[in-house]
């Protein structure tokens, strides 16, 4: 196996927190998924833009090959597969320095410094998380036996759509695809090996993988290569313990600890002479507990989690039944140690889908969405026969009705399926995965200084979506390639570009098309006239006059905002479904205050209902009050460029949700006052008046309207300008408040 120094998922915290110093380079601040590793990484932002809150898989390796062999060329021969094939961004550099932080128990933190031709990576954390650090690297550096180590850093975006995170159970039917074939499909992010069905209470543990192999004669050790192959593709392979049939039982807390030791030594990162699956190190343990007792599973979880300190993170997952709380592992889930929980919404009529999703939605919203776990998955059967007591959801109904209702929840992780055998019969995972899968796609840039650009797209078998704003001057290259790609696919499949039908027609949807420069519009027009074929191109824009060169080729479809009456009808429909008494006058007030924004109206309805008993003349909440309170709290707690940067990202989120500048400014001032003594309110009001002046017409932020000229006639640009004024207000307030705090401290020290 390749000598990985680090292999984990990282989450971007900040980008260029101290300002952008180079046009094509960004400094990324990130943390490992469990928060134990910190890193700063310089990347070519033109080739590979990274954004806060995005998740990436990051690997540090001395080789690009899984066997650890040396790389003799920068680019391996085409016939030779390498790690680079599985990643989007690869850099080669030198590990030139390592430092230590010592505590009472020895080295508690190690920092590695790596240079990639001027770009830098600094990674810090416990020595156990730098997998090869403990193998003599420290001694070699201290003794100056080595002055630098050649390393590759590899990055791949971990992105998802409603169903992109799919977990599958494998192992209970010999007629299903092999483990390596399962991972080769690219459909699954997690594979649960089912099951270790005998363990605990002094029993000899036994794994049962049905017809795949016979562990009694060491017949399953051959799976080791399959497991490693899956992991090299980014698939987490997890051992599922328990199951619906078996003999498992934890007799005591000590028994639970002994089971944890067995699992560590035989399936995870420990050592044993009798590892049933060979030398492959699994990624974690899945608790599919459906019998025995509900005792000591929390002890087992804590004991397994503790092994993460010894090296590779041990992921913990669970598959509880949807009636809440789960009868077997309900207590264990409260430890907060589980990374992924795939709840079984099948074979449980009270909370499963039965023609409509009301029972499922209630269980998800009222209970499972709020448990202390990393991500929650919707567990489903992959075929009707997979769940004799029901719960199967046809793929089209899952995609159109169920997933949209739950996928916006922060902890939603994806879908779990039982099982690979049934999925092979129905193709269920492929049906739901194909619904708007988000991914990063590389586009070749002919004749440009850089050879290619990575762009995030969302696509299915019938369409592809792309946001123009991320193309950064290379619009015509990307759009033309999309157009030609679809045309080329059509001609290749039919042999006749005139034969267009439902099967070979695909839509290309371009957002913010009014941001396209004239040069790009003219070139795209020429391409569209030349490559007619079966493409359906949708140019989505706020101002159709900005894409005038394309008007002769397009049909203009204007989407009008909903009227107050239409919004009221929607609110009444929701109220009826939820059993809420919504006064007609209140519904009309919410509709008017939303300014024809249906999403905001629904949010206001929900926030107002949660805050008060609904009455005709009560105050309307927007649903953004808590966000504003948090921003005000951030302003008071810390006054620094980094804090201002963090607040800017929160304001950007409000912009994206069409929250009005007037509301933000007024609410921010109100929340700031709540955090300050009343004697300071006058200064806040003075700042507010300075940055919120009105012109004669009463429009806010108009004191620079003349100098902005026509730019502020554009509603979008005007909104951006308004938010800039709010940011200026926050920066000025921070400066004033910090100065006041420092002055008060100096005064206090003098008097004492």
The answer to whether the peptide bond before residue 411 is cis (omega within 30 degrees of 0) is no
With contact defined as beta carbons under 8 Å apart, do 650 and 723 qualify?
Answer: no
Q: Report how far apart the first and last C-alpha atoms of the chain are (Å, whole number).
A: 65
Task: Count CB atoms within 10 A of the CB of residue 22.
Answer: 13
Q: Is residue 248 classed as helix, strand or coil in its secondary structure? A: strand
Q: Is residue 351 classed as helix, strand or coil in its secondary structure? A: helix
625 as an active site residue: the answer is: no
The phi-psi region of residue 727 (left if phi > 0; otherwise alpha if psi is between -120 and 50; otherwise beta) is alpha
Task: Look up tokens 């207000």; give the residue.
Answer: 729
Assigned token pair, 137: 């690297």
What's the Cα-to-Cα distance from 76 to each of 3, 44, 73, 94, 441, rounded to whole Å? 18, 22, 6, 19, 21
Task: Look up tokens 């990282």; give the residue.
Answer: 10
Query: Could you tell me whether strands 452-459 and 463-467 are parallel, antiparallel, or unpaired per DSSP bridges?
Result: antiparallel
Residue 439 CA to residue 90 CA, distance in Å, equals 17
What's the Cα-to-Cα distance from 100 to each of 35, 84, 106, rounded to whole Å? 19, 31, 10
Radius of gyration of the chain (CA): 29
Range 344-377 burial, b when 16+ CB lie within 10 A, else e:
bbbbbeebbbeeebebbbebbeebbeebebbbbb
Q: Give me the catalytic one of 189, 290, 465, 475.
A: 290
Assigned token pair, 20: 């952008």
Q: Is residue 143 classed as helix, strand or coil in its secondary structure? A: coil
Q: Is residue 173 classed as helix, strand or coil in its secondary structure? A: coil
Assigned token pair, 434: 């194909």
With contact defined as beta carbons under 8 Å apart, do 411 and 368 qualify?
Answer: no
The phi-psi region of residue 144 (left if phi > 0; otherwise alpha if psi is between -120 and 50; otherwise beta) is left
Residue 614 CA to residue 169 CA, distance in Å, equals 46
Q: Under 8 Å CB-to-CB from 468, ≥6 apart: which residues?
A: 475, 510, 511, 512, 513, 515, 516
Residue 229 CA to residue 223 CA, distance in Å, equals 10
Task: Look up tokens 């910090």; give the residue.
Answer: 738
Q: Nearest 5°: phi and psi at 125?
A: 170, -175
Beta bridge partners of 734: none
Task: Look up tokens 């070699």; give the residue.
Answer: 140
- Residue 22 DSSP symbol: B
What's the Cα-to-Cα distance from 710 to each of 257, 549, 726, 728, rounded to whole Å? 71, 22, 21, 22
Residue 725 CA to residue 694 CA, distance in Å, equals 13
The answer to whether the peptide bond before residue 726 is cis (omega within 30 degrees of 0) is no
What's the Cα-to-Cα distance from 735 to each of 113, 732, 742, rounded to whole Å? 35, 5, 11
With contact defined as beta carbons under 8 Å apart, do 5 and 62 qualify?
Answer: yes
Strand ranges inside 303-395, DSSP E: 315-318, 340-344, 375-381
The answer to whether the peptide bond before residue 42 is cis (omega within 30 degrees of 0) is no
- Residue 398 DSSP symbol: I
Q: In 3D, which of 469, 457, 420 has the Cα closest to residue 157? A: 457
Catalytic (active-site) positions: 290
């Amino acid at each position: 196996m390749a000598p990985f120094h680090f292999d984990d998922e990282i989450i971007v915290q900040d980008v260029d927190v101290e300002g952008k110093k180079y046009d094509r380079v960004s400094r990324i601040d990130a943390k490992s998924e469990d928060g134990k590793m910190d890193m700063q990484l310089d990347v070519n932002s033109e080739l590979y833009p990274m954004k806060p809150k995005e998740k990436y898989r990051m690997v540090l390796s001395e080789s690009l090959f899984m066997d650890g062999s040396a790389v003799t060329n920068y680019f391996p021969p085409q016939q030779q597969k390498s790690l680079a094939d599985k990643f989007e961004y690869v850099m080669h550099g030198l590990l030139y320095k390592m430092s230590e932080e010592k505590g009472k128990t020895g080295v508690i933190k190690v920092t590695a410094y790596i240079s990639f031709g001027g770009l830098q990576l600094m990674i810090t954390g416990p020595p156990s998380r730098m997998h090869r650090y403990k193998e003599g690297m420290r001694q070699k550096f201290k003794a100056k036996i080595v002055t630098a180590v050649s390393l590759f850093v590899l990055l791949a975006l971990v992105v998802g759509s409603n169903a992109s995170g799919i977990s599958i159970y494998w192992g209970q039917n010999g007629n299903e695809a092999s483990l390596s074939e399962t991972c080769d499909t690219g459909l699954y992010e997690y594979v649960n090996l089912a099951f270790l069905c005998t363990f605990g209470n002094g029993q000899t543990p036994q794994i049962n993988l049905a017809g795949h192999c016979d562990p009694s004669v060491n017949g399953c050790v051959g799976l080791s290569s399959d497991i490693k192959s899956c992991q090299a593709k980014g698939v987490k392979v997890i051992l599922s313990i328990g199951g619906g049939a078996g003999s498992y039982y934890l007799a005591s807390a000590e028994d639970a600890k002994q089971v944890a030791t067995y699992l560590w030594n035989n399936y995870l990162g420990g050592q044993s002479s009798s590892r049933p699956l060979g030398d492959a190190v699994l990624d974690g343990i899945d608790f599919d507990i459906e019998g025995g007792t509900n005792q000591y599973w929390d002890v087992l979880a804590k004991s397994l989690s503790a092994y993460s300190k010894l090296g590779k993170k041990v992921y913990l997952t669970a598959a509880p039944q949807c009636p809440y709380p789960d009868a077997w592992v309900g207590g264990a889930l409260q430890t907060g140690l589980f990374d992924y929980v795939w709840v079984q919404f099948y074979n449980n009529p009270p909370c499963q889908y039965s023609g409509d999703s009301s029972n499922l939605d209630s269980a998800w919203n009222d209970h499972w969405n709020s448990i202390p776990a990393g991500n929650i998955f919707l567990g489903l059967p992959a075929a009707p026969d997979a769940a004799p007591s029901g719960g199967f959801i046809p793929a089209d109904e899952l995609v159109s009705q169920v997933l949209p209702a739950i996928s916006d929840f922060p902890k939603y992780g994806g879908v779990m399926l039982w099982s690979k055998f049934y999925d092979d019969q129905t193709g269920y995972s492929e049906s739901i995965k194909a619904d708007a899968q988000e991914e990063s796609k590389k586009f070749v840039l002919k004749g440009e200084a850089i050879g290619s650009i990575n762009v995030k797209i969302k696509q299915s078998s019938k369409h592809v979506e792309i946001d123009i704003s991320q193309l950064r001057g290379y619009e015509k290259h990307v759009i033309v390639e999309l157009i030609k790609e679809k045309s080329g696919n059509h001609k290749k499949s039919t042999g006749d570009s005139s034969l267009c039908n439902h099967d070979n027609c695909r839509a290309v949807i371009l957002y913010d098309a009014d941001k396209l420069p004239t040069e790009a519009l003219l070139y795209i027009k020429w391409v569209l006239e030349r490559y007619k074929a079966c493409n359906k191109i949708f140019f989505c824009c706020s101002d159709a006059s900005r894409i005038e060169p394309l008007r002769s080729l397009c049909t203009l479809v204007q989407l009008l905002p909903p009227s107050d009456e239409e919004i009221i009808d929607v609110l009444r429909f929701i109220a009826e479904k939820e059993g809420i008494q919504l006064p007609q006058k209140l519904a009309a007030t919410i509709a008017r205050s939303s300014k024809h924004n249906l999403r905001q109206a629904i949010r206001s309805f929900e926030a107002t209902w949660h805050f008060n008993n609904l009455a005709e003349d009560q105050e309307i909440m927007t649903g953004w009050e808590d966000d504003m309170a948090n921003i005000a709290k951030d302003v008071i707690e810390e006054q620094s460029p980094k804090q201002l940067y963090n607040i800017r990202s929160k304001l950007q989120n409000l912009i994206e949700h069409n929250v009005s500048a007037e509301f933000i400014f007024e609410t921010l001032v109100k929340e700031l006052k709540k955090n300050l003594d009343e004697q300071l309110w006058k200064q806040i009001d003075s700042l507010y008046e300075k940055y919120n002046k009105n012109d004669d017409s009463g429009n806010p932020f108009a004191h620079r309207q003349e100098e902005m000229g026509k730019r502020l006639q554009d509603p979008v640009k005007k909104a951006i300008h308004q938010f800039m004024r709010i940011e200026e207000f926050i920066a000025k307030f921070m400066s004033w408040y910090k100065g006041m705090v420092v002055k008060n401290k100096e005064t206090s020290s003098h008097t004492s």
